[in-house]
Amino acid sequence: MSNISAANSANALGKPLHGGVALVTGGSRGIGKAIAKRLAALGAAVGICGRDEEKLMLASRELEAAGAKVLANRADVTKEADIRAFVDATEKRLGAITILVNNAGTGGGGFGAIQEKSEAEWDQVMNTNLKSVFFVSRAVIPGMIRRRGGDIINISSLAGKNTFAGGGIYCASKWGLQGLSGCMAEDLRAHGIRVSVICPGSVATDFTGRGPKDPGKVLTADDVAHAVAMVAAQGPQSFISEVQMRPVAKP
C-alpha cells in the first residue's frame, strides 16, 4: 500500500515518472539534453551520454541544479564496449532502466549526391543513426524483459518517411530506423515493452543538416522533448507507436 500511496502522491505532484530511470543517448546537447530535462522534471532519474566531455558535464550540472538525480558518462554510441559500460554504470548508480531514448544521431557527411559520398561517410552516418540503436537496445532489453516492462523511444526523422535530393545516406539511415523500430515493437510487446518512434521535421539545433534554418519555421528541441514525455507518461494499456512532428509554418 505504501508504494501505491507514493505513486499516487508523485502523480498528484506532476511526477508520473517518479521512481523510473531514463537513459538518453546524445544527452549532452540539443534534443537529447531537452529530453533529459523533461523526463527529469517528470520525476525520472536520468543517465546521459555524449562524446564531448565539457558539454556532458555542463548538461549534468544543469540537470542537478534542477533537482534531478543524474549520471553522465562519456561514451561513443558506435562502440559496443562503451555502451555496455554506460548501461552498467547507469543501473548501478540509478537503478533499473525503465525508459530508453535512442536519440544520438548525426548528419555528418550524409548530405550530397550518393555518387559523391565515400564509404567513410556512409559508415559514420549509419553507425551513429542506426547501428547505435541496435547496440544500446540490445544492452537494455534483457533487463526490461526480466522486469516485464519498459519504454524504448527512438528519435527518427521525417527523413525516414520521405526522400529528397542529396539525402541518400541520411534518409537510408532513418528509413532503416523506422523498420528496426517497427520490428522491435512486434518482438517486444509480448514482454510488456513498448517501442515508439518520434519523427520530427527540421529542428533548431546545431545539427549539421542541409543548410541554415529559419527559426520561425522549424521545431524546437523542447517540442521534441514534449512528444517524448507524452509517450513515456502514457497509460499502461496502450502505446503510441509513432509520432510525426511538423512546424506550423511551412518552410
How does pLDDT run along the chain (251 residues), one tens digit per residue?
Answer: 344 444 455 554 689 999 999 999 999 999 999 999 999 999 999 999 999 999 999 999 999 999 999 999 999 999 999 999 999 999 999 999 999 999 999 987 779 999 999 999 999 999 999 999 999 999 999 999 999 999 999 999 999 999 999 999 999 999 999 999 999 999 999 999 999 999 999 998 765 455 567 778 899 999 999 999 999 999 989 999 999 999 998 87
**Which residue blocks in the chain are alpha helix, DSSP H?**
2-12, 30-41, 53-65, 80-93, 119-126, 132-147, 168-188, 221-232
Contact 128, 108 (CB under 8 A): yes
User: Is 170 tagged catalytic?
Assistant: yes
Q: What is the separation of C-alpha 53 from the centre of its chain, rounded to a whole number of angstroms?
A: 19
**Residue 90's CB: how many other CB atoms inside 10 A?**
25
Question: Cell triple for residue 65?
Answer: 541544479
pTM of the predicted model as reported, rounded to 2 decimal places: 0.92
Q: Is 196 left (phi over 0), alpha (psi -120 to 50) or beta?
A: beta
Domain 17-245 of CATH type 3.40.50.20: no
Distance (Å, whole) CA 227 – CA 244: 9
Closest CA to 250 of 201, 210, 198: 201
Burial class (CB in 10 A: 0-12, 13-18, 19+), 238: exposed
Question: Cell triple for residue 30?
Answer: 540539443
Closest CA to 136 of 53, 195, 95, 190: 195
The full length of the chain comes to: 251
Contact 7, 19 (CB under 8 A): yes
| Among 33, 170, 175, 198, the one annotated catalytic | 170
The helix/strand/coil state of 248 is coil
Question: Cell triple for residue 206?
Answer: 546545431
